[in-house]
Structure formats: structure tokens, C-alpha cells
């Protein structure tokens, strides 16, 4: 069974940092590109970042460029999102999603940026 | 103006067909894009439904019933998700998505109510 499990969310003050993780199982992680997608409370979906299988290609949404860093560890079957300089508007559920089709999603982890 | 615009809501009766539109902003030619569709029920992550570019370039998500299918209306510059034989379990939010210039863009979302 394919599983993606996010962790690392929580409450952080504006300007603070968090590192999200996504642990996967049930498929060969190293052969799939991965993404982070977020959803603010009561709002729609917003793509955040993409990483290719070997990490050679990385893309970011303009809203997070320069503040967030996506990475992956194929040996650990894990995807990461380092989030720095957090703002109130970064408050959202963060999902990891598989491939450029987002064909599989995790359950999400909530990030709240508030003082 | 959003790149991908969807009607905010749609209501239909069980057993009928519902057509959800995803209109691309001027300057974005629907014929050149693969359009992806997702279903999201309250409290759950999105689920991949299908991808449609043309009848020769399409993909149905694993386990997704064939009563969900995609099409395009070139004259309206829109992608369309058709749900035939609407069921109560189809009540959900639906999002379209494209990739443009190395960035993923989601539509504004449509809330489908089954009366």
C-alpha cells in the first residue's frame, strides 16, 4: 500500500523556522518526483515546490522562493521542506504529493504562523 | 484574474451529469496543456481523478470510475470534467491544475452539491 506521512508541523512565530518531513512507503521513492502543496484554512490548493528524482531539478512557487528549501533523501525514502522566515500567510496544511500529476497525497501536517 | 477559473459551486441531482469547467486565462491556450483534476472531500486530502489533454493523451487515476472523464472546449478555452450518473458520494470540492513554465497552477475550485 502506498503511504505518504507528513510530520513536523506546529505553531511557530512570524520569522521563525520549521522543517517538514514526508516519509513514504509502498513504492520505489527514488524513481518518483515529489512536490509540496499547501492549503490555507478554508481556501484552495497552492503548489509550493517540486523536486526531481535525483534532486537535479527543483522548482518553487514565487510566494516561497528564497525562504523555503525542498530536499529529499532517497536512501531514507523521505522528502523535506525547510521553511524559514515564516509569515502569517504561510499558515496552511502542507501536503506532500507524488509526481507531477500529484497522483498520491499524504494526510497533511498543519503549520500555524502566529504570535 | 486567476490563471484557471472554476465556478465556485454547482448543484445537480443524483443520476444526472455534471460538467465542471476550468477556464484558462487569455494567453493560455487550452490545447497545449494537460489538465489534471482532483476531488477533495471535507477533512481529507485531495485525490487524483484524471488527466486530459486529448483523446490520445489522457490518463484515468487508479480506481477512478469511468463515469469521471475529461474533455475540452476549445471555443471556450476550457477544460471540462464530466461526472455522469452523479452519486451522493460525488459531493466534494473539485480542482483543476496545469503545469506552466515549471510551476504548477491550481484552479479556484468548484464545490459540487448533489441535491
Q: What is the pLDDT along chain B (115 residues), one digit of tens a residue?
A: 999 999 999 999 999 999 999 999 999 999 999 999 999 999 999 999 999 999 999 999 999 999 999 999 999 999 999 999 999 999 999 999 999 999 999 999 999 999 9
Sequence-separated (6 or more) residues with CB below 8 Å from residue B26: B77
The pLDDT assigned to B97 comes to: 98
Of B40, B61, B95, the CB nearest to A103: B61
Alpha carbon B31 to chain centroid, angstroms: 15
Please state the separation of Cα A88 from the chain's center in Å.
Answer: 17
Which DSSP category does A88 fall into?
G
Q: Which chain A residues contact residue B95 at CB under 8 A?
A: 44-45
CB proximity B3 to A under 8 Å: no
Identify the band that residue A24 occupies on the pLDDT scale cut at 50, 70 and 90: very high
| Nearest CA distance, B75 vs chain A (angstrom) | 26
pLDDT in tens, A55-75: 999 999 999 999 999 999 999
Cβ-based contacts of A108 with chain B (< 8 Å): 45
A-chain residues near B102 (CB < 8 A): 50, 59
Q: What tens digit of pLDDT does each residue of B43-71 get?
A: 999 999 999 999 999 999 999 999 999 99
Rounded to 10 degrees, what is the CA torsion of B102, A73, A47, A115?
A: -130
DSSP state of A53: T
By Cβ distance, the residue of A46, A103, A107 closest to B106 is A46
Q: Would you state the pLDDT for residue B8?
A: 98
A27 touches B: beta carbon within 8 Å? no
Q: Do A101 and B102 touch (CB under 8 A)?
A: no
Enumerate residues 6+ apart whose C-beta is below 8 A from A23. A4, A5, A7, A76, A77, A78
Spell out the residues 6+ positions from residue A99 whose beta carbon is closer than 8 angstroms to its own.
A32, A33, A34, A35
Calculate how close chain B gets to A104, using CA atoms only, in Å: 7
Task: Quote the DSSP letter at residue B3.
Answer: S
pLDDT at A11: 98
Using the structure block, give the residue that is written with the C-alpha cell 466534494: B92
CA–CA separation, A20 vs A54, rounded Å? Answer: 19
> What is the per-residue pLDDT across A70-97, written as a single tens digit (0 to 9) for each?
999 999 999 999 999 999 999 999 999 9
Question: For an interface test with A, which of B35, B45, B103 has the most A Cβ atoms less than 10 Å from its Cβ?
Answer: B45
- Binary contact (B45, A105; C-beta < 8 A): yes
pLDDT value, residue A8: 98
Amino acid at each position: 500500500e502506498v503511504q505518504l506521512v507528513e510530520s513536523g508541523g506546529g505553531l511557530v512565530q512570524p520569522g521563525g523556522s520549521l522543517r517538514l518531513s514526508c516519509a513514504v512507503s509502498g513504492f520505489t521513492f527514488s524513481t518518483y518526483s515529489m512536490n509540496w502543496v499547501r492549503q490555507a484554512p478554508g481556501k484552495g490548493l497552492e503548489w509550493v515546490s517540486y523536486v526531481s528524482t535525483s534532486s537535479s531539478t527543483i522548482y518553487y512557487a514565487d510566494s516561497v522562493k528564497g525562504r523555503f528549501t525542498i530536499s529529499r533523501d532517497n536512501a531514507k525514502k523521505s522528502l523535506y521542506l525547510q521553511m524559514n522566515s515564516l509569515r502569517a500567510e504561510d499558515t496552511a496544511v502542507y501536503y506532500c504529493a507524488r509526481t507531477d500529476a500529484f497522483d498520491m497525497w499524504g494526510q497533511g501536517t498543519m503549520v500555524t504562523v502566529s504570535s | 484574474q486567476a490563471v484557471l477559473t472554476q465556478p465556485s459551486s454547482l448543484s445537480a441531482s443524483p443520476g444526472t451529469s455534471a460538467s465542471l469547467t476550468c477556464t484558462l486565462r487569455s494567453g493560455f491556450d487550452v490545447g497545449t496543456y494537460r489538465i489534471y483534476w482532483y476531488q477533495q472531500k471535507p477533512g481529507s486530502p485531495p485525490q487524483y481523478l484524471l488527466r486530459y489533454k486529448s483523446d490520445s493523451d489522457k490518463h484515468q487515476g487508479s480506481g477512478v470510475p469511468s463515469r469521471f472523464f475529461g474533455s475540452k472546449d476549445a471555443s471556450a478555452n476550457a477544460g471540462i470534467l464530466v461526472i455522469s450518473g452523479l452519486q451522493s458520494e460525488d459531493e466534494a470540492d473539485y480542482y483543476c491544475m496545469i503545469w506552466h513554465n515549471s510551476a504548477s497552477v491550481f484552479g479556484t475550485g468548484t464545490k459540487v452539491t448533489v441535491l
